Amino acid sequence: MEITYGFSPFRKEYHKMVKDGLITSCPFCAESDMESQAIRSQNGEPVENEFSRWVINKYPYSDGHTLVVPKRHISSIHDMSRDEIISHHEMIRFAADTLQKLYPDAGIETFLQYGKGSRMSLPHLHTHVVLALPTDTYRGMQKLGYFEAFEEDEEKIIMLPVKVTLVREKLIEALAKVIDLSELAKYTTAQ
Ligand SMILES: [Zn+2]
């Protein structure tokens, strides 16, 4: 059996920070973090609606790895108000369509996890909005680390590391070219 695995050096960086106790407060509540992770239009306006933001994953697993994050610090889907749920899903739809402008052959997968037993690493709810490419060899939640390796040459059955390239600042730049913020209003569900 052939298994392709993702190798993201950014995850290694993240796990080291967690191990060294360097993540002491919620980055999704820190304006400086949200500033640097904001996905923006070409004139620099962050993509956000009333209750949620669209940001890049600072420690991505794969190309085009983004997150939709509620503005309020909430840890469970049960803490979301009806307006927050609607706003969150409108932002997911905008994110999905925008990612597909950048990757016309891609489908979209979204993942949300919370609570004990999940792999949620931050107690601030967030939905991963990621690409589903025809070349993907793993699907669904497996993308969030099931085959994750921390060393590029770690022993596996067969190792075919997939390089993570279009992420962080490069992803923000690439997305800015296809974002049309005037379209965001169209994603507002009629009351
Ligand atoms: Zn938070």
Determine the distance separating the centroid of ligand 1 and the alpha carbon of 67, expressed in angstroms.
14
pLDDT at position 150, please? Answer: 56
pLDDT at position 1, please? Answer: 42
Per-residue pLDDT of the chain in tens (191 residues, 90 and over written 9): 445 556 677 877 888 888 898 888 999 999 999 999 999 999 999 999 999 999 999 988 888 999 999 999 999 999 999 999 999 999 999 999 999 999 999 999 999 988 888 877 788 999 999 999 887 767 777 777 654 555 666 555 444 556 778 889 999 999 999 999 988 888 886 54
In contact, 126 and 28? CB cutoff 8 Å:
yes
Backbone angles phi, psi at 163, to 5 degrees: -75, 140
Determine the distance separating the centroid of ligand 1 and the alpha carbon of 151, expressed in angstroms.
30
**pTM (whole model) above 0.75:** yes
Residue 144 has which token pair?
């969030």
Instruction: Name the residue with tokens 């965001």.
Output: 184
Determine the distance separating the centroid of ligand 1 and the alpha carbon of 187, expressed in angstroms.
25
Determine the distance separating the centroid of ligand 1 and the alpha carbon of 96, expressed in angstroms.
23
What gap in Å lies between CA 123 and CA 75, rounded to an integer?
A: 5
pLDDT at position 163, please? Answer: 73
pLDDT at position 72, please? Answer: 97
In contact, 179 and 42? CB cutoff 8 Å:
yes
pLDDT at position 14, please? Answer: 84
Determine the distance separating the centroid of ligand 1 and the alpha carbon of 93, expressed in angstroms.
22
What gap in Å lies between CA 129 and CA 68, rounded to an integer?
A: 7
Determine the distance separating the centroid of ligand 1 and the alpha carbon of 152, expressed in angstroms.
31
Burial classification of residue 174, based on how many CB atoms lie within 10 Å of its CB (0-12 exposed, 13-18 middle, 19 or more buried): middle
Residues 6+ apart with CB under 8 A from 96: 108, 110, 129
Determine the distance separating the centroid of ligand 1 and the alpha carbon of 69, expressed in angstroms.
9
In contact, 57 and 67? CB cutoff 8 Å:
yes
Cα angle 131-38-116, degrees, rounded to a multiple of 5: 65
pLDDT at position 15, please? Answer: 81
Q: Distances in Å between the alpha carbon of 14 and those of 104, 121, 143?
A: 30, 10, 16
Burial classification of residue 57, based on how many CB atoms lie within 10 Å of its CB (0-12 exposed, 13-18 middle, 19 or more buried): buried
Cα angle 120-20-18, degrees, rounded to a multiple of 5: 10
CA atoms 17, 23, 26, 29: torsion sign: negative
Domains of the chain: 6-182 (3.30.428.10)
The strands making up 107-112's β-sheet, listed across from edge to edge, are: 52-56, 66-70, 127-132, 107-112
